Amino acid sequence: MKSPQQIKQLLIKKWQSYFFHKDWLQKVGFSTDSIAREKENENVKVDSLFPYLLKLEKITDKQMLHQFSEVTNQIEQLTVYQVRNSQYFSLVWHDINFRSLGKQRIPGAINFDNIECLSRFLGCWQQWQNFTCQTLTTQEQFPSLLPWLQQRPGELIQNLTVWPQLLSVCQYFIANPKPNCYLRELSITGIDTKFIGAHKGILKKLLDQLLPSEAFNTEFDKLTEQGFEKRFGLKFSQPRIRFRVLDKSMATDLGGFFDLEVNIDEFAKLEILCDKVYITENKTNGLAFPQVNNAIVIFGLGYGISILKNITWLKQCRLYYWGDIDTHGFAILAQARSYLPKLQSFLMDEATLLACKDFWGQESVDKRHQSECLPLLTIEEQKLYQQLKSDHFYERLRLEQERIPFEYWRQRLV
């Protein structure tokens, strides 16, 4: 027989699985009459599971014969526990005939008369009241949301304290689909920009259920990279691209400017006519990059190189990536190739590494890349990556791109 503490933990686990919530949602009946009835009379309840009986483990003849003292002690503990909590539950007793000891009175189940008794016993009465209240409010405002909520009561319970505000945001987007403004510009009573920013996950789930398909962009399903804003027609702060024109004759097409920074959409529209595009992680490299005919250099992106993946005109150019010679640098290169398949590496080879031995350093332990293999590397790059990973040349070897001598760099330009 389980101890009183184990029994309570069992009930808590059942409560946290939303077993009782799902049953109430399925069977309470969400007609207008039932809502009015519950609001008019708080005592009107629909407890389909109640009285709820939690059956206890059966006690066998063998246990009674060989563990009589232990069994009677457990029964006594449970009886004392029930007396202390008599306002919440009662014990259901059965008279059982045991072959060895004859008729014995044994507790067979724990009985909770109603959901209030159970939820108070578990310390969840306030939560239950809020849950039912917000469910009925949701039914009044958005009846179409109930089938979804019946399957996912946890979404409501985990957001009980902000549920009215979430519904207010939903009301706004239903009335104003694809508002084409920044979050800061939304005029929703009692709602600020930070609230929506902090609750994008649950808002996406709710709006997906409530909005017609033409009111959001299904192409954007994730929250990363301003996915919420893109999905629901909001403006957002776009990532910016900084680049330098490396050919004087090209600058005339860009108003005579050599060093520019624009947002990603503007960069996509530029359609710069050039043969080569260098991409380097280091800002100093980008600023000092020598002149190259028909070329530009993009710098300062790091892992953010993925924002270039949808720039159509870039795919017509010869692309070169220049990163540090370390495991981290090759990981960025491999990831970049998943977006830009024709991307070539620049100054990330064994010849450069050995030529610059005087400038070797060490990669920090927490930044070392641990993948056994980076599939998108070339054979030569893969070999060097494995050598770096195994400390073939030097422990945690790293050659930072800005340490490569300028003359060596200039001579290797292609």
| Domain spans of the chain, in order of start | 4-121, 125-231, 240-411
* Strand partners for 242: 261, 299
Q: What is the pLDDT of residue 169?
A: 95
Q: What is the pLDDT of residue 41?
A: 46
Residue 43 has pLDDT above 60, yes or no: no
Q: What is the pLDDT of residue 370?
A: 83
User: pLDDT grade, residue 80 (50/70/90)?
Assistant: very high
Non-local (6+) Cβ contacts of 164 within 8 A are 134, 137
Please tell me the pTM assigned to this model: 0.67
Q: What is the pLDDT of residue 310?
A: 86
Is there a contact between 264 and 284 (Cβ–Cβ < 8 Å)?
no
pLDDT digits (tens, 9 = 90+) for 83-121: 999 999 999 988 877 777 777 788 889 999 999 999 999
Candidates 319, 297, 311; CA nearest to 269 is: 311
Q: What is the pLDDT of residue 153?
A: 94
Q: Which of 94-103, 146-155, 181-190, 212-221 has the lowest mean pLDDT?
A: 94-103
Over range 238-243, report the average pLDDT. 88
Tokens of 190: 């009692």
How many angstroms separate the CA atoms of 122 and 2, rounded?
17
How many angstroms separate the CA atoms of 168 and 162, rounded?
10
pLDDT digits (tens, 9 = 90+) for 254-302: 888 899 999 888 999 988 889 999 999 888 999 999 999 999 999 988 6
Residue 32 has pLDDT above 50, yes or no: no
Q: What is the pLDDT of residue 293?
A: 93
Whole-number average pLDDT of the chain: 88
Q: What is the pLDDT of residue 47?
A: 55
pLDDT digits (tens, 9 = 90+) for 364-379: 988 888 888 898 999 9
CA dihedral sign, ordered 252, 255, 259, 261: negative
User: Coil, strand or helix: which one is 409?
Assistant: helix
87: left (phi over 0), alpha (psi -120 to 50) or beta: alpha
Q: What is the pLDDT of residue 61?
A: 72
CATH number of the domain at 240-411, out of 3.40.50, 3.40.1360, 3.30.1360, 1.10.3210?
Answer: 3.40.1360
Task: Tell me how far apart the 2 most distant CA atoms of the chain are, in Å.
Answer: 106
Q: Which of 108-122, 166-180, 241-255 has the lowest mean pLDDT?
A: 241-255
How many angstroms separate the CA atoms of 13 and 60, rounded?
27
Q: What is the pLDDT of residue 302?
A: 61
Q: In this structure, are strands 318-322 and 344-345 parallel, antiparallel, or unpaired? A: parallel
